[in-house]
Amino acid sequence: MNATTPYFEETHEHKDLSGVKKIGLALVSLGFLLLFVSASGIAKEQPTLFSILIFGSIMVGTLVYVLPQLKEGPAGIKNNNIFFDSMTSKGAAAWVAGIFITGFYVLLYWFPQYLENWIRILDPLSFALSGGPASQWFLYGTFYTIAVVFMGVRMIVKYRHNRYQIIRTASVMFFQLGFGFLIPNILKAFNQPEFYFTYFWPLKYDYLFPNSFEWLMSSGGIGIFMFFWGAVMTFIATPVLTYFFGKRWYCSWVCGCGGLAETLGDPYRQLSDKSLKAWQIERWMIHGVLAFITVTTIIVWLNSSFGGGILGDLSNQFSQTYGFLIGAAFSGVIGVGFYPIMGSRVWCRFGCPMAAVLGIIQKFWSRFRITTNGGQCISCGNCSTYCEMGIDVRAYAQRGQNIIRASCVGCGICAAVCPRGVLKLENGKVEGRYELNDYVKV
């Protein structure tokens, strides 16, 4: 409070902790090495030991790499060297990582038999949680959750000066770990449907398909609750929450896809394409996918209410095509596999039908906007560079205009990286949110 507190006259020496960080990296690499080795099947005899060794060294290694940052200097925006690092600027390392993740998705969706040896490593964990052996989806869920939680720690350390980022990241970590992993598996242990409470139609498109309806309705009380939960979330909670908070309540606070993008994907957010062209493509694609899934849903219901008689195999073909093209190829292979090349939100931006719905509501009936602070913008471009949705935030800020874009997931990074305090995510009166401020003459 008072200015009389004596300040230190000495400069601070900062410890060089790069040695410790290297140990962390080495541990992570060791974990992956063991993982590759165990693909040969040698781990099957000792699954518990191997899963502890593999996941333990990946998790501990990540922490050992990340935590020293706390001691490396004051908190702040430290995007240093991102565009020089091969891993984060589409260099060779990024291509290796991209090919590895893409390859994993291809095996996962279409050739799970090749993942057999890895899946078996997770049997002990799977039995402990769900009472049954592991499947490829259990393997996937484990990888996914570890990525969200441990890269989430990294995100929190990076933005430790920013409470919005801390709380938001903790939220996606919580929802992934609890609702995206533990709860569905524990439900299985109690012979209940493996249900994901945080996914709804149209993202989890089959939750409103007739076969889900039958599946859940036949599973007794909890199943009925689940079906109605899904329907209520889609038709009531989604519009209401988006009206009050914008699409961020879901996309950057709850959703698992968003959760992965905000944690594992954070180092790649600058790779999104900011061009006008990309925005035009985005609008066609995302609304196209929404139309596709809406038509598919209607067709499968029509088909089932006519007992499959009228449309014959057509509805099956529709939903299978959707599942292959959108559900697997787009959201997984391209959506995550291409993180290191195209940025972290390719699926969310170009493909996700849930994002399309939320975006339409956000654009036309929402209290959310990013306010531009008077004439303070210096057009530096940090906001646009780090917008994972490829929104040219600067284009708005420099003309004194609020940012209201269907695609904005409200991650708040633009506001965090802005060096002049120009941007603020806010909910406020709907009237006038599109008005220009009069500090900049347009």
Partner 1 sequence: MTHLVIVGNGISGVTVARHVRKRSDMKITIISAETKHFFSRTALMYAYMGHMKFENMKPYEDWFWEKNRIELVFDFVSKVDTDSKKLSLKSGKEISYDKLVLATGSKYNKFGWPGQDLDGVQGLFSWQDLELMEKNTANPVNRAVIVGGGLIGIEMAEMLLTRKIPVTFLVRESRYWGGILPLEEGTLVKRHILEHGIDLRLNTELGEILPDENGRVRAVITKDGTEIPCQFVGLTAGVSPNVKFLEDSKVETGRGILVNDYLETNVPDVYSLGDCAEIKTPEGERNRLEQLWYTGRMQGEVLAKTITGERTIYERGIWFNSAKFLDIEYQTYGQVFGELREGEAKFYWEHEDHKHCLKVVFDEKSHVVIGLNVFGIRLRHDVCEKWLKEQRNLEYFLENLVEANFDPEFYESFEQSVADAYNTQFGKTLKAKTKKGFFASIFG
Distance of alpha carbon 279 from alpha carbon 349, whole angstroms: 9
Amino acid in position 82: I
Distance CA 373, CA 12 (A): 35
Q: How far is the CB of 391 from ligand SF4 (least distance, A)?
A: 4
Query: Could you identify the residue written with the tokens 């260099």?
Result: 91
Q: Does 395 bind ligand SF4 (CB under 6 A)?
A: no
Count of CB atoms within 10 A of residue 384's CB?
Answer: 21
* Interaction between residue 424 and partner 1 (CB under 8 A): yes
Which residue in the set 225, 379, 428, 439 belongs to the binding site for ligand SF4 (CB under 6 A)?
Answer: 379
Residue 153 structure tokens: 């720690």
Query: Which residue of 394, 400, 402, 406 would you call a contact of ligand SF4, by CB under 6 A?
Result: 394
Q: Which partner in partner 1, ligand SF4, none is near 391 (CB below 5 to 8 A by kind)?
A: ligand SF4
CA torsion, points 363, 365, 366, 367, in degrees to nearest 10? 120
Q: Which stretch binds ligand SF4 (CB under 6 A): 63-71, 292-300, 314-322, 382-390?
A: 382-390
Alpha-carbon torsion (419, 420, 422, 424), positive or negative: positive
Mutual orientation of helices 136-158 and 256-263 as an angle, nearest 10°? 50
Asked if 11 interacts with partner 1 (CB under 8 A), we say: yes
Cα–Cα dist 297/291, whole Å:
10
Task: Determine, following the binding rule CB under 8 A, whether residue 163 of this chain makes contact with partner 1.
Answer: yes
Under the binding rule (CB under 6 A), the answer on residue 336 touching ligand SF4 is no
Amino acid letter, residue 144: Y
Over the window 79 to 98, marking each residue x when it contacts partner 1 by CB under 8 A and - when it does not, the resulting string is: xxxxxxx-------------
Q: Which does 440 bind (CB under 5 to 8 A by kind): partner 1, ligand SF4, none?
A: partner 1
Residue 312 binding partner 1, by CB under 8 A: no
Distance, CA of 155 to CA of 264 (rounded, Å): 9
Give yes or no for residue 167 binding ligand SF4 (CB under 6 A): no
Binding letters toward partner 1, positions 166-205, x by CB under 8 A: -x--------------------------------------
What does the alpha-carbon distance between residue 60 and residue 83 come to, in Å, rounded to a whole number? Answer: 27
Question: Long-range contacts of range 17-23, CB-CB < 8 Å, 24 or more positions apart?
Answer: 17/68, 17/71, 17/72, 20/64, 20/68, 21/64, 21/65, 21/68, 23/61, 23/64
Q: Quick one: which segment of 115-123, 160-168, 182-190, 299-307 binds partner 1 (CB under 8 A)?
A: 160-168
Q: Which residues pair with 372 in a beta bridge?
A: 423
Please state, in angstroms and rounded to a whole number, the distance separating the CA atoms of residues 223 and 117: 33
Binding mask 408-437 for ligand SF4 (x = CB under 6 A): xxxxxxx---x-x-xx--------------
Judged by the rule CB under 8 A, the positions of this chain that interact with partner 1 are 1-3, 5, 7-14, 73-77, 79-85, 161-164, 167, 244, 270, 274-276, 371, 373-376, 378-382, 384-385, 394-395, 398, 412, 415-416, 419-421, 424-427, 437, 439-441
